Amino acid sequence: MISAALGLQIALDVLLVALVGLAVGSRWAEALSTGGLDAGAWCALACGLALLAVYGVGRSRINVRDTAVDAPRGAWWPTGAWVAALIVGWALLLLLTPVALWIAFPLMFLEMHVLGPRRGILAVAATTACAIGGAILGGQQLVGSILGPTFGGLVAIAVVLGFETIVRESQGRQELIDDLVRTRADLAASEREAAVATERERLAREIHDTLAQGFSSIELLLRAADASLEEVVAPGAFAPGASGPTAARAARGYVTQSRLAAQQNLAEARRFVRDLAPADLESATLVGALERVADRTALAAGGGLTVTVESSGQARPLPVPVETALLRIAQSALANVVQHAGASRAAVTLSFLGDAVALDVVDDGHGFDPRRVAAARRATAAPDPTRDARSAVGQEGSEPGAAAGGVPATRSGFGLTAMRSRVAELGGTFSLETSPGEGTALAVHLPLDPQEPR
């Protein structure tokens, strides 16, 4: 498909060749009608051919069609020299035949385009002056000789300037469209990166609150089983009154609990892959799910921890994201009570407050200095979700078995960060009160949308 610029250039070429042929043909016809070809006819033919040759050479060397309207134009070489040669050749032909006056109009359009709006207007003015002089020498009326070329020059200037203005506006719109396309591509890339980061954070939270905590419980149970087996293999363990049989039963119980914890971890992993709700919420209310988590926590602690669950207010179903977040927070908190806090009692309280719901987890463990934990978290380059954290209740990031009031490890854990992230996503508030030797109290407050479907 021929573009508009190419079509205009072809039309200009055809018009110029046709008008040169018309001028030369009219001069030959005039000579033949008066008795034969004279020197003037042959000179007109030579001038016409020379004009077309100069035009053809310039068209082959100067890219007229693809010259940008905003590009610098009008240089003396080769553009200015080419236009000057065309004007001289046309003026010579005009002296031989007045019909060549019509060639001025395509020349004016060419001059405006290749020389630009400044030098082009000067060239058009010179062409107009030559056309007026040729018309007067040709014996035409004075008024017509002046008005015709003048109006022709003005029309050529107006048309070319108007066309170039349209082209500039079109180019500006195209640049704007290109910028919008690039911006949209950049925005899409940013959204993809944000989505990947969000999904990575969600996966880290889920892994930390489910699989990592389950594996930690299994490790504690197997450690207790190993300690019991040490008593079993001790000399005289099965002598009358010895503790061998009791230790063997205890070891078997720990192994059984580990197997059950592994089965629960496997179920959580499968549900996690299928992006389902937590298993504890499938067939029970949130309070019932919290009670199950509390029972498993007490069992994993080997009887050294008492966990209670209480609720206040009028219980009602909550949105699934809210129930999932509260359950995961309580699960992570109680798991860290077992691993790090060294507590003997922990209490979980769920409060229904009308337009909000609150979760409190309190223990009587070692406690810690939250300022030191915050400093350790800021000094950490990147949180590691696979590392156990003394997160909700107890010292986040401390090694298991740290003494009461001990110093948290320099590398902070992921628990508190994951909890705060969950609460922030639901527009709630998270607070933590603790000090070394004074236990820890965690409080979560989540608003509820009355219009949100349950």
At residue 182, what is the residue type?
A: R
Helix, strand, or coil (residue 32): helix
pLDDT at residue number 350:
93
Residue 448, pLDDT above cutoff 90:
no
Round to whole Å and give the CA distance between 381 and 110.
Answer: 67
pLDDT at residue number 69:
65
Binned at pLDDT 50, 70 and 90, residue 278 comes out as low
Q: What is the mean pLDDT of residues 72-80?
A: 78
- Edge-to-edge, what's the strand order for the sheet holding 306-312? 306-312, 345-352, 356-363, 440-447, 429-434
Question: Is the bond preceding residue 447 a cis peptide, omega within 30 degrees?
Answer: no
Beta partners for 358?
A: 351, 445
Residue 90, pLDDT above cutoff 80:
yes
Round to whole Å and give the CA distance between 67 and 110.
Answer: 12
Strands (E) in 77-170, as ranges, are: none
Residue 256, pLDDT above cutoff 70:
yes
Round to whole Å and give the CA distance between 269 and 58.
Answer: 77
Q: Choose the most confident range, by mean pLDDT, from 143-147, 413-417, 440-444.
A: 440-444
Round to whole Å and give the CA distance between 132 and 149.
Answer: 6
pLDDT in tens, 322-355: 998 899 899 888 887 887 788 889 999 999 988 8
pLDDT at residue number 391:
37
Token pair listed for 57: 């050479």
Which range (138-142, 301-305, 396-400) has the least confidence?
396-400
Token pair listed for 171: 């180019």
Residue 157, pLDDT above cutoff 60:
yes
Residue 61 CB neighbours (<10 A): 10
pLDDT in tens, 384-407: 443 433 333 444 443 333 333 333
pLDDT at residue number 257:
80
Which range (29-38, 239-248, 335-344, 408-417) has the least confidence?
408-417
Strands (E) in 323-389, as ranges, are: 345-352, 356-363
Binned at pLDDT 50, 70 and 90, residue 71 comes out as low
Average pLDDT of the chain? 79
Q: Which residue has the higher pLDDT, 175 or 138?
A: 175
Is 294:309 a contact under the CB 8 Å cutoff?
yes
Helix, strand, or coil (residue 352): strand
Token pair listed for 98: 């007045």
Is 116:151 a contact under the CB 8 Å cutoff?
no
Q: Give 268's contacts (C-beta < 8 A, 6+ positions apart).
A: 210, 211, 214, 278, 279
Chain center to CA of 274 = 27
Percent of the chain predicted with pLDDT > 70:
83
